[in-house]
Structure 1
């Protein structure tokens, strides 16, 4: 494992820690898209089914369990905690799941390298992760109520993907047969989706202003 992969994993983990601190610490999920959280949970479930059949390393197994467990906890808090669920912006979080899930499923069936259940679901998770943040970004544009924890959560999540791109570049030049065109393409698309958010995040930080996305 190289430093970019490790840093990316830690950014991803830190983003979830920040989100859990917001939800459990101040008992609020205001500004957080439940749709995005459920899409990420679906990504992890479909990607990590191989946890039962393919042992890579203790680190790999632990990280998979952590992401599955924390994502499940976030969705549970937002849906069922009697206090937290009252702060959910349900009226604003209206992005249609089907617009993201259906194309991801069709592309997975059309482009899967091997047609086994695990491989098709893994391919589906790659496509879906690339666009899963979209309901969250749309919600932030609609509400214009972006507190520091929410802004930092999205920033850390985007930084994780940026660091993974550096990881891929590093591996491309250091590993002779390392080629993952599907993963690379989806990763670049995912990073591009974050670009607008990053621009306004750094602008607000530079001007010491509250983060706001243009509607």
Structure 2
């Protein structure tokens, strides 16, 4: 494992911890898109179908379990927890995310590396992760003001994908048979979706002011 992948994994884990901190400390999910969280849960469930068939390392297995478990826990809290679900911004979180699921699954059937059950769902998870943040970004844009923990959560998610691009570049030059071009292209698309958010995030950080996104 190279330093870029490790940093990406830790940044991804940090984003989840920040989100869990927000939910459990404040008993609120205000500003968080349930639809994005459902998409991420679907991403991890379909990507890690090899969890009980292909053992790579203890680290790899633990991280898979953490991502699956935490994503399902977040969705459960936002849907079922008596206090948390009251703060959900359902009127703002109206992105039709099922269109993303359908489009990504169709793309996986057409564009994949191998026509096998596991590879089709791996490609589907990669495509879906690239656009899963869209409901969250739309919700933040509609609400305008972004609280500190929500802003940090989205920032760490974007940073994780940027670090993974460096990981893929490193692997391309150091591994003889590295060919995950689907992940590379999807990662670039996903990182590009964060560009506008990153701009306003750094502006607010530079001016030591509250993060605000234009409606």
TM-score interval, smaller chain? over 0.9
1:114-166 deviation per Cα after TM superposition (whole angstroms, max 9, x unaligned): 22211111110010000000000000000113100000000000000000011
Which secondary structure does the structure 1 equivalent of 2:201 belong to? helix
Which secondary structure does the structure 1 equivalent of 2:15 belong to? helix
Q: Which residue of 1 aligns with 2:99?
A: 99
The range that moved more, 161-170 or 112-121, is 112-121
Q: Which residue of 1 aligns with 2:17?
A: 17
1:68-118 deviation per Cα after TM superposition (whole angstroms, max 9, x unaligned): 000010000000000000000000000001221111011000112222211
Q: TM-score, normalised by structure 2?
A: 0.98
Q: Which residue of 2 aligns with 1:52?
A: 52
Q: Which residue of 2 aligns with 1:110?
A: 110
Q: Which residue of 2 aligns with 1:85?
A: 85
1:51-75 deviation per Cα after TM superposition (whole angstroms, max 9, x unaligned): 0111111100000000000001000
Q: Which residue of 2 aligns with 1:30?
A: 30
Q: Which residue of 2 aligns with 1:179?
A: 179
Which secondary structure does the structure 2 equivalent of 1:145 belong to? coil
Aligned-pair CA distance for 1:179: 2.1
Q: Let me know the Cα RMSD of the aligned residues.
A: 0.7
In the alignment, structure 2 segments of 5+ residues that lack a partner are none
For this pair of structures, how many residues does the alignment match? 215
**CA–CA distance in 1 between the matches of 2:145 and 2:37?**
18
**CA–CA distance in 1 between the matches of 2:210 and 2:177?**
46
Which secondary structure does the structure 1 equivalent of 2:50 belong to? helix
**CA–CA distance in 1 between the matches of 2:100 and 2:33?**
15
Q: TM-score, normalised by structure 1?
A: 0.98
**CA–CA distance in 2 between the matches of 1:70 and 1:90?**
21
Which secondary structure does the structure 1 equivalent of 2:194 belong to? helix
**CA–CA distance in 2 between the matches of 1:118 and 1:98?**
21
